[in-house]
């Protein structure tokens, strides 16, 4: 074998070796492509799951905000209801409580169906007597009325007192009344 034949054999061997290495590289490359495809699917799946979780979290956050708003509304309604119950208790006890600082007008009327009796009623502002009405009924069905304007602070209380041994008459027709209202805030 001469030098050029040796060279050809050597080149063929190198070529065969390169072909083998190329086949191995192609095989490794195909394996890496499969792994990359698998990883891409897994990453896409995780991203999809993250999107679903983010959507759920956003929904949950929105629901939480709605619940907070609803809770605040319910708390406000409860406070209003509690205040209304307290006001009804005061009203049923005959107490007027000023909701704001201002000038208030008050009036009352009493009736007695008997003759020959004395009537006396007092109007109080925070436990201080500010008005009193006294009457002797010479005839039956006599009424007495009086009124005044008071400057009240928020929370001040105004009420009527019927002293012991005195009486007034009332029925479903509301002959005996006590009224108060805000003229203007101060």
Looking at residue 157, what is its pLDDT? 92
Cα–Cα distance measured from residue 180 to residue 158, given in angstroms and rounded to the nearest whole number: 9
Q: What is the pLDDT of residue 180?
A: 86
| DSSP structure string for 45-91 | HHHHHHHHHHHHHHHHHHHHHHHHHHHHHHHHHHHHHHHHHHHHHHH
Write out the H or E segment, with its range, that includes residue 142: strand 142-152
Domain boundaries along the sequence of the chain = 1-93, 98-185
How far apart (Å, rounded) are the C-alpha atoms in residues 85 and 83?
5
Which residues of the chain are under the pLDDT cut of 50?
A: none
pLDDT score, position 93: 65
CATH of domain 98-185: 2.60.120.40
């Amino acid at each position: 074998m001469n030098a050029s034949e040796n060279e050809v054999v050597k080149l063929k061997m190198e070529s065969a070796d390169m072909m083998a290495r190329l086949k191995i590289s192609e095989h490794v490359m195909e394996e890496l492509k499969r792994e990359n495809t698998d990883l891409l699917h897994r990453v896409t799946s995780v991203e999809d799951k993250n999107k679903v979780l983010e959507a759920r979290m956003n929904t949950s956050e929105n629901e939480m905000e709605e619940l907070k708003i609803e809770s605040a509304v319910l708390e406000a309604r409860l406070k209003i209801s509690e205040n209304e119950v307290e006001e009804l208790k005061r009203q049923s006890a005959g107490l007027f409580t000023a909701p704001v600082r201002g000038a208030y007008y008050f009036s009352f009327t009493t009736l007695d169906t008997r003759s020959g009796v004395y009537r006396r009623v007092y109007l109080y502002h925070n436990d201080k007597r500010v008005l009193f009405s006294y009457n002797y009924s010479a005839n039956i069905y006599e009424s007495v009325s009086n009124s005044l304007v008071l400057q009240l602070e928020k929370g001040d209380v105004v009420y009527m007192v019927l002293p012991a041994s005195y009486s007034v008459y009332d029925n479903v027709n509301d002959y005996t009344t006590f009224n108060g209202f805000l003229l203007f805030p101060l």
